[in-house]
Amino acid sequence: MDDRLARAVLSFRAARRRRHLERQDGTPSPAAPAVPGARGWAARAAAVAVGAAVLTGVGAANAQAEQAPARAGWDGTRYWYKDETGWWRWTRHHAKYQARTQAAERASAERTQAPARAGDASSAGRGEPVFRGRSGWDPVDRVYWYRDESGRWRWTGHRSKFEQRHTLGASTTTRAATNAPAAPGPADRTAATSGSTAKRKDPTAPRTAAPARGLERAIAFAEAQVGEPYVWGGEGPNGWDCSGLVQEAYRKAGIALPRVAVDQYRAATPITRSQLRRGDLVFWTDSGSVSGVHHVAVYLGDGKYLEAPRPGRNVRVSSFSSYNPNLYGRVG
């Protein structure tokens, strides 16, 4: 507005000077063409500028900014959270608070863990995909995982490259396993006696469950956190939210999981309630769909699970009778 006003004043002065010269010699000045209505335009611009200044002053005098909270969660009167754009918001409804904090977590995860769409892990220059313990297509990071000739895990965004290298890596691994000396055992003695070759499992095939010892390490870590406070966005060691606790517990067992509950469900193998066993994950969704997942816990068996429940509560062991999950997954 200041620039427009300055231009208007200059135009007005030029027009006034031109009229003064015309009165002296009786002819219009060719060096400065007439600008009709310059005086009126300048007056209108000045009026707009003054009006804007007045309105700005009124707004500044009457605006009452609400002070941002010190942290997210319940402050005694309302739930505070940051939306997808990073602005502080509040609500008095716990369900709405959970849904919107999960949405903000998903948006943050997408920004910080943007996966590269093509190339191998050894040459990736952008965000690295997260390996989830199985070969093939990863719908979360949208890449293909395979083992190379040396047995190392690699990824690519190209299906044709995956098929070529997956086959090559599998054949190399199979040859190495066939030529390696096997420890003597009943199965080997039977195979040697019959003259047949024992079949070995393809190491690149998807695993249905992690070793029991690994799962017990995850459970032991989670149980050690019982009594720690719930902290929104907490990743330990002095506070946890639901998905932060699950991610860290399974990391102790050598299993990499995404950060938020909905992505953890997508990374797991869906199972039914009747298939649940100790070390599986249980999830809650308001809408009945995967996109509505907002809470996750570690299943302990006998209808009990370990969770970081909500603001104002501590990490605890709960049962299906108190808060019933409706989705189930197996990782590893």
Active site residues: 242, 295, 307
Q: What are the backbone dihedrals phi and psi of residue 301, each rounded to the nearest 5 degrees, phi first?
A: 105, 160
Other Cβ atoms closer than 10 A to 21: 14
Q: Kindly state the helix (H) or strand (E) to which residue 327 belongs, with its residue range.
A: strand 327-330
Cβ atoms of 250 and 209 closer than 8 Å: no
In this structure, are residues 173 and 180 in contact, taking their beta carbons and an 8 Å threshold?
A: no
CA 45 to chain centre: 49
Residue 241 in 3-state DSSP? Answer: coil
Chain mean position to CA 29: 68
Query: Residues 217, 252: contact at Cβ < 8 Å?
Result: yes
Q: Which residues contact 314 (CB under 8 A, 6 or more apart)?
A: 226, 227, 228, 229, 230
Residue 207 CA to residue 189 CA, distance in Å, equals: 27
> What tokens appear for 255 in the block?
């299993």
